[in-house]
Structure 1
Amino acid sequence: QEFFASTSIENGEDSSRSSLVVLLISMTSEKQPYKLRCAVFYCFQSYLFDNEFGKTKIIETLLPSHQPSSNNFPTTGALIIQAISSGESIQAWFGCVTLMHTLYQVDHLCEQLLRVQLTLVTEEPSLSLLEHVTQLLVSTGNRRPQTRAGLLMLLGVWLENCPPAVAAFMAKDANMQYLTTHI
């Protein structure tokens, strides 16, 4: 896991990309064959298995204090959020489950993730990642069961043993209405 995290792939023109970023780009590309995307998903999950250091590094790429990379390549965190927000159900599921595995059995990262702010529309104020995930869940309704399952799995792991996340989730009436209506 350490070796893999330290490897990069030369991109010509004196630049290189992290192997993790290359994996996530392959996993989140709709143009890639489904079998390849599943294989990449499995590789990424294997990287995360029992790897608190790697999980922490991925969450750090989402936090406000993270400095964007100077090579103009997306970060692992940005690719995961992009996947979660995708209109393609498989890609959204991959993104949700990848982030879920990043949080799995590392309770302090669940609280750190509450600090993530997203600006989806430049004219509107930023919203927290938790608000974004719950908005996606509520707006999905009964459609796109694969996306909905991924979002619920992510929320289940995120809210487990994280009272601040539970409080933030329960503070929104739409979330409670969704739970009582659909579940």
Structure 2
Amino acid sequence: MLELTSIPDDIVAETVHTIGDIIRGNDEHQKFFGSFVNIVGGLQVPLLFNMLYIMVADKKQSFRLRISILYCLQCYLYKNDIGKSMIVQTLLPQTENANNEYTLGHLLTIGYLSKDIVASWCSGIALSHLIADSQQYKEAILKVVLAIDRSHTGVKTLMEISMDLLQNCSCSFHTRVAVLIFLCTWLSNCSLAVQTLLTIENSISYLISQIGSESTADDRELLIQSVCSFTIGLCFIFNNNQISLYSSEALERLINKRIGIDLFQEKLEVLSKSEFYIEALQKPQLKLSDPSDMILDYEFAHLYESLKSSISNMLTRQYINATARTLIVPISTNIYEQKISTMMTHYNNLIRQRVEETNMDNEKEKQWIQEHDMDKKNALALEQQIQKIKDENPIFNK
């Protein structure tokens, strides 16, 4: 059907979209879809490969069809460990013979690095769905390396290239958003991915600089700043503290110093008020009519919704704890020991005073009891004397 030019694009796009709805979350349908092949030039080519090729490389196809293919791919990957594993394997370093073959992984990376904003955005979103909810695949693609020149002598990891794309001034807004979505998905619930990002030179300083940029009226730049805040937040809450320079505590201090906790929280919240976010959170179906609509998708919106509060709460708690420590921890160890000694002396004196007061109270109580007993004896003796006088003088008995 994809090869038939006589069928209107809208019908093909709607059909692909419907196929996505049918296979989403259905093991049998996903397995059948993944095994389906087309005969192209006498060769059997997987349908998935044909569809991915159209999405990332065929600019002649309509935007709606390319987006429908992305949605269908998302549905294929949804809760499909077998399908995910198959594609992840094509991303990992291959044998020499396999390097000469185009694979699904090749197509995704070609699209990810493309200057065509539709290809780059779709590929970034597809990569995020490939590793979503799987720590295993997130850790696996840390090994992905790509050649950075034609000689293939220089290579960089996929995460390093992602940071390069972010910092490339010529990259479009849509590409930057897709890269950030991919990174956020990668970092969430994966401390090893966070550790790797923290070791990449200028990664944190770049994100901090974006968040701390002057206020702008451009809604899209505000959204970029907000997603950068979310990225830093994920580094904060999923930090294994193996990189001392960027441990959770160090990141909190850096945020407070370079941005300010309140401003960081404010930037983080910007995304939740965005119309793009509100619309993306409504349903998983991708219904985009124009490339300008390529911003957020449902899975990322859901990820942000589920972790935003955790970032805010943990950052606030860390800041309060750090502030409290600065109030009680002295700068000098000698001063600290001196204060401890003074406090201990004070408490010892206080305890001694309390003991002495208690002993005095006990003595007073003992003396009072003795005096009370003596008074009772005297009163009894007096009563006896009075009674004796009454007995000896009958006049008192009248």
Shift of residue 88, structure 1, vs aligned partner: 1.5
Residue 80 in structure 1 maps to residue 108 in structure 2: yes
CA-based RMSD: 1.9
**In 1: Cα distance, 2:153 partner to 2:160 partner:** 14
Which residue, out of 195, 208, 213, partners 1:167? Answer: 195
User: Which residue number in structure 2 is paired with residue 100 of structure 1?
Assistant: 128
Q: Confirm or deny: 8 A CA contact 1:17 1:73 kept in the other structure.
A: no
**Unaligned residue ranges in structure 2 (runs of 5+):** 1-29, 212-398
Letter paired with 2:159:
L
Relative to its length, the structure with more helix (as a share) is 2
User: Which residue number in structure 1 is paired with residue 86 of structure 2?
Assistant: 57
Letter paired with 1:36:
L
Percent identity over the alignment?
30
Shift of residue 73, structure 1, vs aligned partner: 5.5
Q: Confirm or deny: 8 A CA contact 1:138 1:174 kept in the other structure.
A: no
Per the normalisation by structure 1, the TM-score is 0.91
Which residue, out of 56, 65, 68, partners 1:39? Answer: 68
Residue 118 in structure 1 maps to residue 143 in structure 2: no
Shift of residue 140, structure 1, vs aligned partner: 3.8
What is the SS of the residue equivalent to 1:47?
A: helix
Shift of residue 66, structure 1, vs aligned partner: 6.0
Letter paired with 1:3:
F
**Unaligned residue ranges in structure 1 (runs of 5+):** none
Structure 1 runs (4+) deviating above 2 angstroms are 65-70
Which residue, out of 161, 166, 173, partners 1:132? Answer: 161
User: Which residue number in structure 2 is paired with residue 5 of structure 1?
Assistant: 34
Answer with 1 or 2: which has the greater Rg: 2
Letter paired with 1:107:
Q
Which residue, out of 18, 35, 47, partners 1:19? Answer: 47
Change (3 A) 1:105 1:66: farther
**In 2: Cα distance, 1:66 partner to 1:40 partner:** 29
**In 2: Cα distance, 1:123 partner to 1:73 partner:** 16
**In 1: Cα distance, 2:94 partner to 2:51 partner:** 24
Shift of residue 68, structure 1, vs aligned partner: 5.5
Bigger mean CA deviation after superposition, 92-101 or 168-177: 168-177
Shift of residue 132, structure 1, vs aligned partner: 0.9
Per the normalisation by structure 2, the TM-score is 0.43
Change (3 A) 1:140 1:158: farther
**In 1: Cα distance, 2:152 partner to 2:132 partner:** 34
Change (3 A) 1:55 1:158: same
Letter paired with 1:49:
Y
